[in-house]
Structure 1
C-alpha cells in the first residue's frame, strides 16, 4: 500500500505542500463531468494526500477513470451485469448504470472507498451495488460479469497478476473487459502481455499518458473447443503411455531371454574350463607315471649290466 500511496502522490497535481489547512484532504468538491451525452455528478476529495498525510487516493477521480468513463459513455449495456474492480469513486460504474446495465457492482478492498462510491451513485440516481472484493481471496462474483471495468488498477509488478486473476475470476465467457492504465507504470507492460495470452484484444488506444484496451474473454464455444482439444491431448497421452508400457514389457521379456542366454553361455564356458582343467590334471598324472616307469626301467637295466 505504501507503494501505491507514493505513486498516487506523484499523480496528485494538487497535493498539499503542508502550508494549507491540515483538514483540506477531508473536504470534498462536487463537480459535474460530461461523458458522451451523460452528465455525471462527482464528489471527490480536494487532495489525494493533504497536509496531514491522510490517504484519500480512493476518493479522487483519477485520469484513467475519466478516460474509461468517456470510452463507455457511448456504449449500451442493456441487460448486462457490470463489475468495476478497484472502483474508487466508481464513476465508470455509474456511467454503466446510466447506460442501461441491469446490474452494476462497484468493488474495492476498502469500506471507506465504497462509501464514497455509494455517494457517487446516489448523487446520480444510479443503481450501483457496492461490495468488498479482495483480489487475494476472490470470494464471490464467480463468472458473473458480462462487462468488467478497471481503471488505474495496476500500480506495481505485484498488482498485475492479481488483477488478471480477478478479471478471469469474475468474467463470463464472452465478456467485454475494459482496462485503462497510466503508461510507464511498473507492472503495466507485463499486465498487457499476460492479458494478450489470456483474452482476445479487440481495441487499443492512447489518450494522453493513458492506454485503454478492450478485451473479449473466451466464449463458451471457444472454451469447449479448448476443453475438447485438451481431452484429445490427454487421450493421445494415455495412448502413448499404453504403447510405452507395451514397449517396456517387450523390452523386459527380451532382456530376460538375453539374460538366460548369457547365463547359459557363462555356464557352458565354466563347464568347459572345468573339463579342460580335469584333462590337464590327468595329463600331468600320466606324465608322472611315465617318468616313474622310465626310472624303474633304468634301474633294472643298471642292475643287469653292472659296469
Structure 2
C-alpha cells in the first residue's frame, strides 16, 4: 500500500487523493478558497443582468428609500413610507410588479407598440397608497424624454391622478414632491363605491368621464370593500378604458373577487412579462380589464 502523497511535494496528486479520501474537507476548502473571487465577480454580474441589491429593510417607519425597479428606471424613484395612516403607506410587491410592467408597456421602445403612446391620455391610479406604480411610470417617461410628459403642447401631455382615501393624501403629496412631479401628477381623494369625483368628469364625453388607463395594485386585501371596489371598476372601465389590475392572493376570498369581476368585465391574465414565473410563485397575478363586449350597446 503506497503512502499518502504530501501536498507540498505533489500538490495535484494530493488534491486528487484528498477529493476521494476526505471529500467533505476537500470541497469545503475549495469553496472557501473561491469565496473571495465570488464576492468580487458576482455582484457586478447581477447588476448587469438587472438585479438590484436588496434594499435595507428599515427598522422602523416612517422611512424614505429609493428604487429603480430592477434597473428599469434611470433615475431612482424616492418614496417615503409610513404606516401611521394605514397599510397602504408602504411599498407592496404587487405595486412593484405593476410598476415594472407599465414601464415596459408604455415606455420601453423595444416593447411599446405605437398605439400605446400616453400622449394626451389620462391615467388614474386607485388605492395608490404611496403611489409607486404611477410615479414609476412618470419617472420612466421623463427619463425617456417622452412627449407625453415633456411636450410644449399641454394637450399632448398625459395626466396622472394618484387617488386613495383622505388619510393617504399627505403621503401621496410628499412622494410627488420628493420626485419633483407636481406639474405632471395630481393627487385626489377617491373613495370606492362613491360617485366618480368631479375632477375626473369631463362634460364633453359621452360617458360623463374620460379615463384612458386605470392602475390598481394590491387593492384586493379587505373583503368587506370588495363590492365597493367592483362598483368603482365597473364605473371607470368603459369605452376604450383599460384597467391594469395586479394583486397578491392571500386568501380564498381574493379569488372569489376575481370570479365576480370576470362576470362584469373582460379580464385577461397578463403573462408576457419577464417576472411572470417569479410573480406566480409568489401568488401575484396581473390582469388587463376592459368593458364587457356588448355591454355598451345595451
TM range (shorter): 0.5 to 0.7
Q: Does 1:163 align with 2:198?
A: no
CA, structure 1 residues 55+109, in 2 after alignment: closer, same or farther (shift >3 Å)?
closer
TM-score (norm 2): 0.58
Does the 8 Å contact 2:269/2:285 carry over to 1? no
Of 186, 189, 195, the residue aligned with 1:129 is 186
Does the 8 Å contact 1:64/1:210 carry over to 2? yes
Of 146, 152, 163, the residue aligned with 1:107 is 163
**Superposition CA RMSD, Å:** 2.6
**Structure 2 partner of 1:42:** 78
> Structure 2, unaligned stretches of length 5 or more?
1-55, 107-117, 142-147, 149-156, 202-208
Higher RCO (Cα < 8 Å, 6 or more apart):
2
> Structure 1, unaligned stretches of length 5 or more?
1-12, 17-23, 49-53, 228-307
Does the 8 Å contact 2:79/2:132 carry over to 1? no
Q: Secondary structure at the match of 2:239?
A: strand
Q: Secondary structure at the match of 1:174?
A: coil
Aligned length: 197
Matches for 1:75-224 after TM superposition, within 5 Å: 75-76=105-106, 77-98=118-139, 99=141, 100=148, 102-111=158-167, 113-126=168-181, 127-140=184-197, 141=200, 143-185=209-251, 187-205=253-271, 206=276, 207=279, 208-218=282-292, 222-224=294-296
Partners of 1:116 and 1:40 lie apart in 2 by 18
Does the 8 Å contact 2:192/2:231 carry over to 1? yes
CA, structure 1 residues 56+33, in 2 after alignment: closer, same or farther (shift >3 Å)?
farther
Does the 8 Å contact 1:80/1:146 carry over to 2? yes
Partners of 1:160 and 1:74 lie apart in 2 by 29
Structure of higher CA gyration radius? 1
CA, structure 1 residues 211+184, in 2 after alignment: closer, same or farther (shift >3 Å)?
same
Of 79, 95, 102, the residue aligned with 1:72 is 102
Q: Deviation at 1:185?
A: 2.9
CA, structure 1 residues 40+167, in 2 after alignment: closer, same or farther (shift >3 Å)?
farther
Moved more, 91-100 or 171-180: 91-100
The structure carrying a bigger helix percent of its residues is 1
The structure carrying a bigger strand percent of its residues is 1
Partners of 1:209 and 1:224 lie apart in 2 by 33
Partners of 2:128 and 2:73 lie apart in 1 by 22
Partners of 1:15 and 1:120 lie apart in 2 by 17
Does the 8 Å contact 1:160/1:187 carry over to 2? no
